[in-house]
Structures are given as C-alpha cells and as structure tokens.
Amino acid sequence: MTESTALSHFRCGYIAIVGRPNVGKSTLMNELIGAKVSITSRKAQTTRHRITGIQTIDDAQFVYVDTPGFQTRHSNALNKTLNRTVTNTLTASDVILFVIEAGTFGPADQQVLDLIPKNVPCILVINKSDRVKDKAVLLPFAQQIAAKRDFTAVVPVSAKLRFQLDNLQGEIKKHLPENPPIFGEDDITDRSEKFLAAEIVREKLFRFVGDELPYTSTVLIEKFEVEGDLRRVFAAILVERDTHKSMVIGNKGERLKDISTQARLDMARLFGGPVYLEIWVKVKSGWADNEAGLRAYGYE
C-alpha cells in the first residue's frame, strides 16, 4: 500500500471532553493519551484552559480537547471566559465525550448537556463506574441518562483504572472523519513546555493548599530558559490577599518547598531532563475579574 493510499484511509479529528467540574475529564484525557498533559486535583474547577492531548495509533490520530468544567457559580470575568472556552470548543469538534459520574446526575450535568450541539456525534461516558458497589444499579442509571438525548454510544469507564478505555477509543474512531494527521506521530500536546510548567505548579498549589485557597489563584511563568537538557523555570504564584500568600508559603516556608519539590519532579519527568525551579508568591488582587489581565495571563 502506498503512503497516499494509507493516508486516504487515515482518520483524524478533534474530540471535546466536556462535563461539570470534577467528573474526571483531565484524568480521562491523560489516561487515553498515556501521558500527563492536563492537571488533576480533587479540587473542582482545576482545568482552566483548552488543553489538547494527542494520540496517534496505526491509522488514526485522536486530538482530545480537555475543557474547563462549565461554571454555574460566580459570574466573574474568569468564569465567563472559561464558559466561552467550553462553548467554542463544542462547535469546533468532530466528536464530543459527555462525561458524568456514575450514579450522579444533577442540574449542573443537565446544563452542560443542553449546550451540546445536536449535529455532533456525542458519546455518553459514565466515569468512576468502579465506585458503584451494586453493579445492578448501573444499567438502569445508564438507560435513564441515555434517554435524555440521542447518544451515539454509552460507555461506562473508570479512567483511573483504565477500565473500558480501549472500547471508548474504538467508539470514538468510528466517528472521526477521514483526514491526514494534523500533528506528528510522537506529539502528545500542542501546548508549550512553558505553559505545561505553569500548569504543573498550579496543580501542586491546589494539591498542597486544597480548599483553604480560593480557586482564583493562578501561576505565571516569568522566565523559562533551556540550556541543553536543563530547564530553568522562574514562576510566580498570584494570590488575591496577604492571608492567601501566607497559606501558600506555610510554616517556615515548608508548604512552598513541598509545592516546588513536587512540581520540579513532575517537570523533569515530562521534559525528560533536569529542572531548576524557583517560585515566588505575589499578591495581585482582582486579577480574576479583569478581562485585559486575563488575556495577559494566557486565558483565551
């Protein structure tokens, strides 16, 4: 078979992963592509950007787009920007994965479902299905949700345990258009190392500070230098108040040290080389409600 013949049967397209906050969208994308490009946290509303994860298998390239969870609380500029990102992604996708949590479907899930265009193939993904003790309740629950719209498939999965992810990928592939690949076969994301560095620091921030810290905190990479295999990363954590700053730094700087150590180790794994990381904490009140400021910090 010639290369042009092979490419004529190649499938490639964009797959939007949508759902309310904290249903496991980022974990699902990371496990599907086999690399950590989207940050995860038990704290809801961790993903803030449109993040692309790429996987190329044989005759298909899957371009996954992890979206922020659709925000139904607070109407500041940040949340309006996040919701605009979700709706723009939906209209530009070839396939949509609507992710819900097994056994749970509330008004926030319905709000996301109502946003999904009727003319795009949509797969219902029931995540965290391993947590349902009585498996007999899973089928009626799936049938109840499946009746809400004409889904192209219903797939219960556990992203964390990789349960049924191959089946899910098989269902997605059926609906990808015949296109040549958009990215190189070894690419795993279209995001820069600088962007990924900021996301890794933000993940550790939420992991170590948790619910104490308002989710409006963010991370800005002030300098990113590459010298051979070594990356030098200078990051600023932006918080809204002095009390938040002391939360992040912790007793005798221990918390900030933990954030830095874990972020540096994750970066070294992802970038495949040593990382020198310095982090400062800065107070910048009102940044999350300033449209111009949001664009300066990389929000679309």
Amino acid occupying residue 285: S
The answer to whether 25 is annotated as binding is: yes
Q: What is the pLDDT of residue 49?
A: 52
Q: What is the pLDDT of residue 58?
A: 86
The answer to whether 173 is annotated as binding is: no
The answer to whether 23 is annotated as binding is: yes
Q: What is the pLDDT of residue 71?
A: 46
Task: Tell me, letter by letter, the H, E, C secondary structure of 244-269.
Answer: HHHHHHCHHHHHHHHHHHHHHHHHHH
The answer to whether 91 is annotated as binding is: no
The answer to whether 66 is annotated as binding is: yes
End-to-end CA distance of the chain: give it in Å, rounded: 43
The answer to whether 22 is annotated as binding is: yes
Closest CA to 62 of 70, 71, 53: 53
The answer to whether 21 is annotated as binding is: yes
Amino acid occupying residue 263: A
Provide block-wise average pLDDT over 10 residues at a time, the chain (300 residues): 57 91 87 76 47 87 77 50 63 90 92 89 95 85 94 94 94 94 86 87 84 70 93 92 88 94 93 94 69 48
Q: What is the pLDDT of residue 39?
A: 60
The answer to whether 26 is annotated as binding is: yes
Q: What is the pLDDT of residue 216?
A: 62
Residue 221 · residue 197 · CB < 8 Å = yes
The answer to whether 68 is annotated as binding is: yes
The answer to whether 58 is annotated as binding is: no
The answer to whether 298 is annotated as binding is: no
Residue 276 · residue 231 · CB < 8 Å = yes
